[in-house]
Structure 1
Amino acid sequence: MEKSAIISKGRWTPLFLLALMLFFSFAIVAQEQKEYVEYKGEVVNDRNGRSISSAYLALNNSNISTITNSDGEFSLKVPKDLTVATVTISVLGFQSKTLPLNYFKSEDTEIRLAETVEELAEVNLYQATNAKLLVEEMLSKKDENYLSDQSLMTSFYRETIKKGWSNVSLSEAVVKIYKTPYNSPKKDLVTLYKARKSTDYDKLDTIALKLRGGPFNTLYLDMMKYSEYVLRPQMVDSYNFKMDEPTKINDRYTYVVDFAELDRSDPWYYGKLFIDAETSTLVKAIYSLNVDDRDAAAAMFVKKKPGGSKVYPIELNYEVDYAQNNGKWHYAYGRAQMEYVVNWKKKIFNSRYKINSEMVVTNWEKYSGDDWKKRNDLIHPNIVMVDDVSGFSDTEFWGSNNIIEPEKSIQNAIDKIKRKIDRQ
């Protein structure tokens, strides 16, 4: 198998590779005994009632967490024996809120967050004026600010492919991650604990997009662990950095640094770094890869395509979020959003595919053993979910594992799949 990365301009660039082929799916049903209480609801803007996506819900004094979907909806599963607890809800641009667990209901819990309106530029804490020096300090403090112990993380991964506005492929997995220390050059290891997938053949052309890399696509967005992909210390001079307006994340004052690559002969990165003002820790990054050069982008990202077609990416956006526990930060959430165009020589209209992959860490624990690799079937960084994962299941399949609540359009696709299964 080819490596899922290539050398570009002297640095590693992650490949979210696509292969255009046919694939099949079939159904499977699994069940697990419930040992948890599930709470569902929505996080909304207190001012206008609009839903808030990517809001982080963390069960305090535990490692249990989840995140809201694009509709602001969440599902939080908590062990039955944990009745007295609090949950903190936080998201960029809003004041965090901590609520008792008994506030939550099995359905229709509404959480309202107020927008952050404080004039942060006047706060004395903000003294940084040199963006480049701030980024260099951020990178130099990696060993101090991030997990220095190996750990086991439970995560939920979802990968969707849309043709136009229709869902044509859905893959989901509960993932176990052997997370190596941030000061270690060793790569993280991943195994699929539970997985399911489905493909709607009626809405596909004679080809279907395949995203190679699966959970690794979002795991490699961990910019502080895999700094070689975007921003390693030796590359600082290759970027232009500029201070933006500061903000708050989880009620902590945060610097915002805009960055963009100087060399634009190939696809180039640009975006925002959110750096904790007190500790110089990267707590969030939102960035994109400019792919205006279609030929260069196609050569970088498309590995296989049918004859008579031209395939190229037109938009590539990424996000990574970190969470803090006992003074140390770790990867908490990653998302990659990609859009591709397929042009056929003998067709007037092209086909557009949108691919969204995201993964949230829902639980983690320190791990002191040395036999995890031997006891688990590891997946390869080149995994293609639609090839290596088979079947679909009902909602009981996930048991007590936290997931990202499906968006409305995805939920409709899941409901159709369930109806097909019930008729079998």
Structure 2
Amino acid sequence: MEKSLTLKHYASTVIAMLFVLFSLNAQTGFTEYHGKVVDGRTNKALEAASLSINNTNISTIANSEGEFLLKVPNNYSDSKVIVSFLGYNTYVLPLTELRGSEQPIKLYVAVTELSTVSISAFKDAQSLIRKVFQDKNNNAGNESVFMTAFYRETIKRRSRNVSLTEAVVNILKQPNSSEQRDIIGLGKARKSTDYKRLDTVSVKLQGGPFSTVYLDIMKYPEYIFTEESINSYRFTFDEPSTINNRTVYVVNFTPKDNEFRINYKGKLFIDVKSLALVSANYALDVSDKRNTRNLLVKKKPRDVEVYPLEAIYKVDYKQKGDKWYYSYSNLSLTFKVSKKRQIFNKVYTLSSEMAVTDWEIYGVNKKIKNRDRLRPSVIITDAISGFSDPDFWGEYNLIEPDKSIQSAIDKIRKSIEKEKQREEKNTVNG
């Protein structure tokens, strides 16, 4: 009988070149732009580079290989695309320039300087961080926002994909000032799990899209920086950086000691003018195995012990007017599963990410029906199936699959096609 291991997410948790390819699908009313964002000197992919259409809320994110797919309605064909990446100057170009052109576009690393006045505005980095969280409501809108987002969840055993889930979800994002929690509704979704590769332990993520939404530390600061825990961290200024041609403070944080069971270390990127959080990259301190053993696990068999090897988190925000909105987040958990009477341990990596691809101020015409609402305890892999239709997503923007994920999708489709052929053959013979 298959045993289950359920993981619960704890969030208390310079030159570059953009290669663009153009393809047109006029019948469906939108145009697809494929490309890749890489560092021009090292050729390293610029993971999570942001691409958005000017004067709209349409956007997408590059995958871990720097590749992207951006779907733009044809009525925006005269618009401009904005390409941005932390530490680089933002590049803006007309969509029309991309048609039929494969010419690389160079992005330059931003040279960032802070005036003495800006640096001396705070006596230390901790006072800046306190100010950011005290004023978090000032930099966010007071209205609820209806967001469309793409969510992907993968589980790997070593380097092989054993589970893949993708979904378009609707998010009713509540204001930071509201005590109401965000609501997520399931739109389109598909998944496949090869339980044979998972062996006798079935690894699942509890929370699904909520695991990424709860990384929004401006909405849910209690998961990482409470009034009590903020004093337990050491904050220091790093070299300033740039995002979307705006200067940002860079603040490093590390635990002063290990008085809490859960400790994090990472970087916070804060807009100099508005003091809004622009981005946060951090990781769980897993150095103390006794302290973190089974930390990320909600349910497991008695003869199994789970040791986190790495837990990495990221959240990004985008500016619209003078307000900042949740835009993207991801988590990556690598852990070792030790089972009694087994010589070799199993190593799994569980990743989930979500990118907001469109949004609007919430109105009565946008609702998430009760039957579509997900529970924060949802295990989304248990609820959906699919992968047979290559045009499944239609006009929805999504995160372009990595090659390993695309290979898994192709294998799934071939398997489905073979199964259909066998069924048809049996029907004819019958």
Settle same-fold status: TM greater than 0.5. Answer: yes
- Decide which of 138, 145, 159 is 1:144's aligned counterpart: 138
**Structure-2 change in CA distance of 1:194 and 1:108 (3 Å):** farther
SS of equivalent to 2:391: helix
The aligned residue for residue 213 of structure 2 is 219
1:48-95 CA distance string (max 9 Å, x none): 433211100011100000010011000000112221100111111211
Which AA in structure 2 matches 1:74?
F
Write the deviation string for residues 372-419 of structure 1: whole angstroms up to 9, x where unpaired. 355652100111121122232423111111000000111110111111
SS of alignment partner, residue 81 of structure 1: helix
What's 1:377 paired with? 372
**Which residue of 1 is the match for residue 423 of structure 2?**
none
Single out whichever of 371-380 and 47-56 deviates more from structure 2: 371-380
Does structure 1 residue 77 correspond to structure 2 residue 71? yes
User: Could you tell me how far apart the structure 1 residues matched to 2:278 and 2:361 are?
Assistant: 21
1:406 aligns with 2:406: no
Q: Is 1:253 paired with 2:247?
A: yes
Instruction: Tell me which residue corresponds to 2:315.
Output: 320
Structure 1 residues 267 and 106, CA gap change in structure 2 (3 angstroms): farther
- Identical aligned residues as a percent: 44
Counterpart position of 1:352: 347
Q: State which structure, 1 or 2, has the greater radius of gyration over its C-alpha atoms.
A: 2
- Residue 416 of structure 1: aligned partner: 411
1:232 maps to amino acid: T
Output the CA distance in 2 between the equivalents of 1:371 and 1:99.
32
Which 10-residue stretch deviates more, 246-255 or 41-50?
41-50
Query: Residue in 2 aligned with 1:13?
Result: 12
1:296 aligns with one of 291, 294, 307:
291
Cα shift at 1:331: 0.5
Residue 230 (str. 1) matches residue 243 (str. 2): no
Note closer, same or farther for the CA distance 1:218–1:111 as it changes in structure 2 (3 Å cut). farther
Unaligned runs of 5+ in 2: 1-5, 14-26, 421-430
Query: In structure 2, what is the Cα distance between the partners aligned to 1:371 and 1:165?
Result: 41
**1:120 equivalent in alignment to 2:113:** yes
Confirm or deny that 1:157 pairs with 2:156. Answer: no
1:177 to 149, 153, 171: 171
The 3-state SS of whatever aligns with 1:336 is: strand
Q: What letter corresponds to residue 172 of structure 1 in structure 2?
A: E
Counterpart check, 1:308 vs 2:309: no
How many Å separate the matches in 2 of 1:97 and 1:128?
30
1:120 counterpart letter in structure 2: E
Aligned to 2:188: 194
Letter in 2 for 1:309: V
1:242 aligns with 2:236: yes
Q: Greater CA deviation, 235-244 or 326-335?
A: 235-244
1:201 is paired with a residue whose SS is: coil
Please report the TM-score for the alignment, with normalisation by the length of structure 2: 0.87
Determine which of 99, 105, 127 is the counterpart of 2:93. Answer: 99
- The AA in structure 2 aligned to 1:397 is F
Residue 425 of structure 2: aligned partner? none
Return the offset for 1:264: 1.0
> Contact 2:8/2:298 (CA < 8 Å) preserved in 1?
no
Q: Assess, with a 3 A threshold, how the Cα gap between structure 1 residues 222 and 109 changes in structure 2: closer, same or farther.
A: farther
Which residue is equivalent to 1:28? none
Q: CA deviation at 1:102?
A: 1.3
CA pair 202-262 structure 1, distance change in 2 beyond 3 A: same
CA distance in 1, matches of 2:335, 2:156: 10
Alpha-carbon distance, 1:163 to partner: 0.3
Q: Distance in 2 between matches of 1:154 and 1:213?
A: 18
Q: Contact (CA 8 Å) 1:44, 1:110: kept in 2 or not?
A: no
Deviation at 1:293, TM superposition (A): 2.8
> Amino acid of the residue matched to residue 382 of structure 1?
S
Report the Cα distance in structure 2 between the residues aligned to 1:3 and 1:37, rounded to whole angstroms. 39
Shift of 1:242: 1.1
Q: CA deviation at 1:140?
A: 1.9
Partner of 2:333: 338
In 2, the alpha carbon distance for the partners of 1:106 and 1:156 equals 28
Q: Secondary structure at the match of 1:237?
A: helix
SS in 2 for 1:71: coil
Which of 386, 391, 394 matches 2:381?
386
Number of residues of Structure 1 aligned to a counterpart in Structure 2: 399
Counterpart selection for 1:41 from 2, 21, 35: 35
DSSP 3-state at the match of 1:395: coil
Q: Any idea what SS the aligned residue of 2:293 has?
A: helix
**Aligned 8 A contact 1:5 1:13 in 2:** no
C-alpha distance in 2 between matches for 1:229 and 1:315: 18
Given the superposition, is the C-alpha separation of residues 375 and 267 from structure 1 closer, same or farther in structure 2, using an over 3 Å criterion? closer
- Partners of 2:388 and 2:320 lie apart in 1 by 34
SS in 2 for 1:132: helix
2:279: which partner in 1?
284
Secondary structure in 2 matching 1:152: strand
Q: 2-side partners of 1:54 and 1:106: how far apart? A: 25
Contact 2:319 2:325 in 1 (8 A): yes
Q: Give, in whole Å, the separation in 2 of the partners of 1:365 and 1:221.
A: 21
Instruction: Assess, with a 3 A threshold, how the Cα gap between structure 1 residues 80 and 219 changes in structure 2: closer, same or farther.
Output: same
Structure 1 residue ranges without an equivalent (≥5): 7-11, 15-32
Higher relative contact order, chain-length normalized (CA < 8 Å, sep 6+): 1
